[in-house]
Structure 1
Amino acid sequence: MAFPLNDLGSALTGQIYQSILGGGDGKVAPDPNTFFTWCMPGLPFSESDLDFCGAGIFSAKDAETQNERLMHAYQLSALLDFVPDVGAAYTSDKQQGMYKPDAEKHLSEMYHQILKFSKVVDYPLTPEQQAKLDKFRGLLWEKKTVKDLITDEEKETVEPSAVMRAYTGALGKYNDAVIEYNTKRVAAAGATGPEGKAASADWALNQQNYYLKVKAAADEWTSAGYRNEVDQMNAYISQTTERSMIMWKQSLLERFQLALISTPEVAIPFPYTTLVPGNIATSGGWTRIGISHKTDNWSKESEATSWKAGGGVNFGLFRFDAKGGRDSSSYQENHQVSEFSMTFEMAQAVIVRAGFYPEFFANRGWMLRKGEGWTFDDLPSDGQQPPHGSFVGYATQAVFVRNVEIKSRDFVSAYRDTKSKVTAGGGVGWGPWCLNADYSHESHKENFTSTEDGETLNVDGMQIIGFVNHLLGKAPNPLEDIPEEQFA
């Protein structure tokens, strides 16, 4: 029996969605303020592209290595500097667009504009309140003086404190445990035939153990990751600054500037952005996921969100050029394949933006007035489902896959035919998976290639296939009892 490419792709993305966001059994419910954005196609990465995430930039042994890490930091920052669209996938033209001055909204610039032109409540704080705010900010973020290896010039930057590093590190472990729990449940729910017995038995016998791992990770996040303390400090900052936000807003603007760095090659400041864990390319927190054509019917019955987010995923084989343009091949979503199976490893990394403080959006002591600095057509977010606005949310996690293996004679034949039509510098993708492409790396190009033997297609490289995003809610959303004249 043959199956359309689109049905197979929908089954697979549905499995990934539930593995990451949860839902279905009431144990790990999906966050209603979270949505997923697929990449179209995946974004290739080499291990060296993320070297600065684990080793840092200024710890480099020499100027050459430091400059390489700076360029890698610039590339990752540019890639992640986007405002997600709830109604569309993160397509190849948008990926390339992040590097262009005329691109769609840059997250850092929109955040800066919102901070700069917001009107905030101007009630003075007591000395005790101000001292407590300063203490909490110092516990969450710390200023650090670094020396440039080339010029010996000292520069002050803002980095996550030890408390925040412990918080985000424990959060990453919790996310890994949740992914494993959801993946095992999804595999058991979609298991069919003799080969599905192991997944079903594994869930029946070990479900409680997997859940205990989630609980243990949550407990570790609380006990060693300062979960309650960080949440309480952020809550205090939010509650206190609802009355007086002038100094807080100024400090956020200063920290935004302190988080900007630049490279010798690109003399334009960019917001420092990194990933946790920094060693994701070599870490052990990867989960193996598999699907076959027999799980297709299950995916059609799986739960869906109340509104469609991150849509537009095309599951026909397509070709695209190095500049991000994409042309559909003759193998569209309804192309039939038989005896299809796919396996890969998946992991997710928390995105850390040193100069970005999203708690500002949850605060109810600020507003924007059109024409008074704010010249965009829309306010940040109307808070609806789905939301509408110029800044409805931001990416919190990047989802990586590697070691992709597809077993299907029909699929491999279609891929081979599509690849033969690709000119130099082009590539081939299927849904959110990049199967073959050239991509920019420093001052040269690197190949992201796959191998096939007529029945099996192997893609060994690492790539980002999507992002987990957080919705802001209504922003701005000032308290109704604050007089208009109190905003300055």
Structure 2
Amino acid sequence: MNEQQASQLVQRLYDSIFTMLTGSSEGGPAAYDPNKTFITLNKGGQLINPADFRNQWSPGNLDGSTDATQRFAELVDDIPNFSTIHTASGRRVSEIYQQLLRATVTADATSDPTKRKAYTDAWKFLHQTITDEETGKKREVDSDLATDYDTNQALWRQKQGEFFAAFMAAMATPETKRTWPMLAPSLAGPVKTAFTKWRTNKADQVEAARATLQTSGVDQVKRAFADAQFVFDSYAIGTEGGTSVAGTRRSTAMPSNWFTSDNFNNWPTYKWEYSKSVTNTNSDYTRYGGSAGFSVGLWSFGAKAGGSSENFHSDANAEQVKLEYKWALVNIRRPWMSPFLFSLPNWKTDVARKGGFSNGTRNGQGNSLFPLLPMAFLAVKDVTVTANFSQAEVDRAKKAISAGGKVGWGPFSVGGNYERGSSREHVAGTVGNAGFRMPGVQIIGWVNQIMPMCPPE
């Protein structure tokens, strides 16, 4: 497999994931807006140790592990660079958000009582004040309706993705395409059930309240920032029962059991074949750094203890490559964050020029401080890659695995150490001439929102 074939293989997989998450069915909404969504792939995957994230502390689980809560908060706090190959920028969502909260507001509040009341009513609808059982202090958190909205929307997004994955698989060949009319009704059932649960629990009222904050907040920027600061302070992990890295706030995952390698969570199976896939000429993959990421080969070896790394091309025939894995779309919930602030006018900050956080587009984001906000990640397990590997590459991969280094093939991990937590345990898949298998949970990609143009001044 030469450089062009290797890059095209990963691009086709990238495009299939993007289509699965941004496609719409039967005239309904897409799980994610394709115009505001940017997918990043992890080169060589990111291995997950279930013990690092199990039994997380929360107000509803006071005996849980604050270390596990901290690890998840840090996992989803990295701001990625604007490239289809996922790389951390070194900046954190919570840090940039704190810079936002310290911004200088350049316009006074409106004196219109109608707008003030609309803002107050919307804020109260979306939040509730509780008393911390340990400290006795007042904390402002999301209302039950706002929490249920996000949870139900996340479930619908997963089911919508499953439906569209099945649709793409059916459209791959003329034979399977003919079966779609018979398969579609039963596959659409869970999507409709999840959609109904989401929409019938006052979803329109939650959306209206959030829209009101956006529109009314335009005239009450200083108040909006002050309210957001109070909520942000309420979610500091250190104030909720544990020791926190400065600025880190508790985030949650939906589904919450995403990290387990057991089979009880009923993850759907995704199957993909290179020979049945197509190349999208308008793909983000080639326009934003994807080709460079695998131009040196699908195999990636990272040395143990921070030594040199290397890449080399696979000898497999691309036309014979098949993938199969179980997957989950893990949505990230940041209850401490008020995203509408980024779209408000009349504020500036001393850490970024106008448009320095993000210019709001897909272009020219190389120097932006906050171009992308991770909204979800794609967790997979039981990865099986079928390919006609040469004996030379099999031997090379096995040697690297036995040496304790990190080994990857495309966006998948074949072996390595866990990257979070205190465990230095080395895990490895099985590699042979017919391909490889990696049973454990790993993250292969991230679903990111393109941030609006900000700061506005």
TM range (shorter): 0.7 to 0.9
Percent identity of the aligned residues?
18
User: Quick one: structure 1 residues 381 and 448, their matched pair in 2 at CA, closer, same or farther if it must change by over 3 Å?
Assistant: same
Range that drifts further, 246-255 or 120-129 = 120-129
Deviation per CA, 1:227-279, whole angstroms, max 9, x where unpaired? 21111001111111211221221121222222222386766452111111212
Contact 1:4/1:337, CA 8 A, preserved across alignment: yes
Give the letter aligned to residue 19 of structure 1: M
Deviation per CA, 1:417-445, whole angstroms, max 9, x where unpaired? 22303575421011221110112453332
User: Quick one: structure 1 residues 202 and 231, their matched pair in 2 at CA, closer, same or farther if it must change by over 3 Å?
Assistant: same
- Counterpart-to-counterpart distance in 2, 1:337 and 1:410: 11
Give the letter aligned to residue 347 of structure 2: M
- Counterpart-to-counterpart distance in 2, 1:129 and 1:451: 63
Range that drifts further, 342-351 or 213-222 = 213-222
Q: Determine whether 1:231 maps to 2:217.
A: no
Corresponding position of 2:183? 206
- Aligned to 2:17, the other structure's residue is in SS state helix
> Gapped runs of 5+ residues in structure 1?
95-102, 479-488
- Compute the displacement of 1:43 (Å): 1.7
- Aligned to 2:79, the other structure's residue is in SS state coil
- Compute the displacement of 1:158 (Å): 4.5
Contact 1:307/1:386, CA 8 A, preserved across alignment: no
- Of the three residues 165, 172, 190, the one matched with 2:154 is 172
Corresponding position of 1:427? 406
Corresponding position of 2:347? 367
- Counterpart-to-counterpart distance in 1, 2:327 and 2:390: 22
- Counterpart-to-counterpart distance in 1, 2:281 and 2:436: 28
Range that drifts further, 22-31 or 453-462 = 22-31
Corresponding position of 1:14? 15
- Counterpart-to-counterpart distance in 1, 2:183 and 2:214: 41
- Of the three residues 258, 277, 290, the one matched with 1:280 is 258
Contact 1:307/1:385, CA 8 A, preserved across alignment: no
- Compute the displacement of 1:404 (Å): 0.5
User: Quick one: structure 1 residues 332 and 435, their matched pair in 2 at CA, closer, same or farther if it must change by over 3 Å?
Assistant: same
- Of the three residues 329, 341, 345, the one matched with 2:322 is 341
Give the letter aligned to residue 58 of structure 2: G
- Aligned to 1:391, the other structure's residue is in SS state coil
Give the letter aligned to residue 341 of structure 1: K
Contact 2:329/2:376, CA 8 A, preserved across alignment: yes
- Compute the displacement of 1:286 (Å): 2.2
Corresponding position of 2:105? 119
- Counterpart-to-counterpart distance in 1, 2:411 and 2:167: 23
Corresponding position of 2:74? 78
Contact 1:147/1:154, CA 8 A, preserved across alignment: yes
Q: Determine whether 1:384 maps to 2:361.
A: yes
Corresponding position of 1:220? 197
- Compute the displacement of 1:403 (Å): 0.8
- Aligned to 1:445, the other structure's residue is in SS state coil
Give the letter aligned to residue 339 of structure 1: Q
Deviation per CA, 1:320-347, whole angstroms, max 9, x where unpaired? 1356776223x32676467332200111
The normalised TM-score by structure 2 is 0.84
Give the letter aligned to residue 59 of structure 1: N
User: Quick one: structure 1 residues 313 and 25, their matched pair in 2 at CA, closer, same or farther if it must change by over 3 Å?
Assistant: farther
- Counterpart-to-counterpart distance in 1, 2:431 and 2:83: 35
Contact 1:168/1:350, CA 8 A, preserved across alignment: no
- Counterpart-to-counterpart distance in 1, 2:140 and 2:165: 37
Number of paired residues? 444
- Counterpart-to-counterpart distance in 1, 2:307 and 2:233: 34
Give the letter aligned to residue 474 of structure 1: M
- Aligned to 2:356, the other structure's residue is in SS state coil
- Aligned to 1:104, the other structure's residue is in SS state strand
Q: Determine whether 1:59 maps to 2:61.
A: yes
Contact 2:332/2:375, CA 8 A, preserved across alignment: yes
User: Quick one: structure 1 residues 411 and 324, their matched pair in 2 at CA, closer, same or farther if it must change by over 3 Å?
Assistant: farther
Corresponding position of 1:99? none
Contact 2:105/2:222, CA 8 A, preserved across alignment: no
- Compute the displacement of 1:360 (Å): 1.0
User: Quick one: structure 1 residues 309 and 142, their matched pair in 2 at CA, closer, same or farther if it must change by over 3 Å?
Assistant: farther
User: Quick one: structure 1 residues 210 and 423, their matched pair in 2 at CA, closer, same or farther if it must change by over 3 Å?
Assistant: closer
Corresponding position of 2:93? 107
User: Quick one: structure 1 residues 79 and 251, their matched pair in 2 at CA, closer, same or farther if it must change by over 3 Å?
Assistant: same
Corresponding position of 1:47? 50
> Gapped runs of 5+ residues in structure 2?
none
- Counterpart-to-counterpart distance in 2, 1:415 and 1:146: 56
Corresponding position of 1:484? none
- Aligned to 1:380, the other structure's residue is in SS state coil
Written as runs of structure 1 = structure 2, the 5 A alignment for 1:395-474 is 395-410=374-389, 414-421=393-400, 424-452=403-431, 454-474=433-453
Give the letter aligned to residue 229 of structure 1: Q
The normalised TM-score by structure 1 is 0.79
Contact 1:345/1:401, CA 8 A, preserved across alignment: yes
- Aligned to 2:91, the other structure's residue is in SS state coil
User: Quick one: structure 1 residues 240 and 338, their matched pair in 2 at CA, closer, same or farther if it must change by over 3 Å?
Assistant: closer
Deviation per CA, 1:166-185, whole angstroms, max 9, x where unpaired? 10121112112211221012
Contact 2:390/2:433, CA 8 A, preserved across alignment: no
Corresponding position of 2:248? 270
Range that drifts further, 165-174 or 155-164 = 155-164
- Aligned to 1:406, the other structure's residue is in SS state strand
Corresponding position of 1:254? 230
RMSD: 3.4
